[in-house]
Amino acid sequence: MFDNWFEQMYHEVENPYMWLLIFVISLRGVYSNIMKKEIGFAAAFAFVAVVSGFFAGVGLGVIPYSLLEALFH
């Protein structure tokens, strides 16, 4: 079921700088919502930050290929 999930998902948006921008904006969302004590929204932005940071790291070549194989194979 998830054999080619990463390749299909990442193929949709291949620009790593877009993912980096989403990562930075989501970090701002986490900080802003923690300061307002809205933990639910902060958790949602934290999830987006993790996913976008992962995709940006893969696109920029920061994450080693062995980690990708361990996660998705």
Average pLDDT over residues 36-52: 95
Statement: residue 28 has pLDDT above 80 = yes
Predicted TM-score (pTM) of this structure: 0.72
Average pLDDT over residues 24-39: 96
CA distance 21 to 2: 27
The model's confidence at residue 69, banded by pLDDT at 50, 70 and 90, is confident
Average pLDDT over residues 38-54: 94
| Nearest one of 15, 46, 14, 51 to 28, comparing CA atoms | 46
CA distance 69 to 37: 38
**Residue 58, both tokens:** 């893969």
Q: Which sign, positive or negative, has the C-alpha torsion 54, 47, 15, 10?
A: positive
